[in-house]
Structure 1
Amino acid sequence: MKLSAPIFKLKRQAKLLARESDIPLHAALDQTARNEGFRAWSHLAASASDHRPAHEMLAQLSPGDLVLLGARPGHGKTLMGLELAIEAVRTDRSAFFFTLEDNEGVVFDRLQMLGTDRKVVEAKLTVDTSDDICADYIIDRIGHGSSGALAIIDYLQLLDQRRRNPELDVQMKALRTFASATGSIIVALSQIDRAFETTGRSIPGLEDIRLPNPLDMSLFTKACFMHGGEAHLEKIA
């Protein structure tokens, strides 16, 4: 069944409905799903799962990849990151979601929006919201013995926000080396400069990444850019 809008926009509609009608988010999600012709949000999410960009994207990633995932706010990069983690868990791989942006409750609310049962994924999905998150912390948390793990970092521009953390370029070099050595896949979510919206282009590119501090973009092996429900994956190195 074809949806009237991309799933990330339907989730946004449900959140707005929950606020305006003063109802729980799960009730607003179910109402939105019924408007689309589904019994409940879980039914809609399950129906759409095989067609999610994350399902196709993960199939195109390789052990050792360091991936940039960029989008403007509200265009689904955090949900895409979580969907990638869920897809990894479904293939019996360990997955990590490191976030300096949200607390654990927000992360699991988003998992609910994706139609995912917390009990199903939490045995394989590690959600880490520590203020100490940086490259060294991530490497220690995953461990060199965790071959083939998938790690999502939310998000790139916050890694060197604390002065005690190494420069962003140094951190990404360490993560690239770690990914190559362990066969892990590391995906860093990234902000896109707001100036992109004045370019008239349909999807951002590397030149649109917001970089307060210098970063060698060739450290990334692949990049995925999202906008308006579209996702484009490209090779870098």
Structure 2
Amino acid sequence: MPGSPAWDGWPLMVITHPMPACGRPVEEVVAECVDAGAPAIQFRDKTANGGALTSTAERLRAVTKSAGATLIVNDRLDVALAAGADGVHLGPGDLTVAAARDIVPPDFIIGYSTDDPQEARRAAAAGADYLGVGAVFGTRSKPGLADEAIGPDRVRLVREASRLPCLGIGGITTRNAPEVLETGAGIAVLSTVMSASDPAAVVREFLRLAGGGGGCRR
């Protein structure tokens, strides 16, 4: 499990969108994903206020807890703690990993985004549990990154430098996922799952590509 020397990360993390393309509420889609075996969910919503984020996060926590899956909240440590989530995912513009580690419970998971091997080492030293590395193939879910693809080799370099579990992220589909998985990293996916009419089927296919297992579930 996270925090253990034997833990090598999740094979798949599903990142949410506040309005999944299938038209169903995000908590229903998350329930479908964890029932299909997704071991980790990252709740991401860049538009809602703190109260709305906490309310949704609490509902998602109930869903993931019943399935034994992990819930990570993107950016907002306050929301993660208020909702009883398992962890937070921070970026360069958020609270630092070291500052977060100083105030969270010992088993609280902290993820960090970087594609730079040296910064990855610093994040590991500061107490990060895993890294999100991208955009591997470019992404339209973050402005300005559609044409900035770092490629799977950079994921490998960051993983080797940090010695932390890593998740490749950005433009990952069932077609190119094996290129990332071959580096020893897992995959984090937003659009390919959230834009699907049957998100659970996509989750099952990603897990099949990753070897069929759900990895560490809390």
Which TM bucket (shorter chain)? Answer: 0.3 to 0.5
With the length of structure 2 as denominator, give the TM-score of the two structures: 0.39
The structure whose residues are more often helix, as a share, is 1
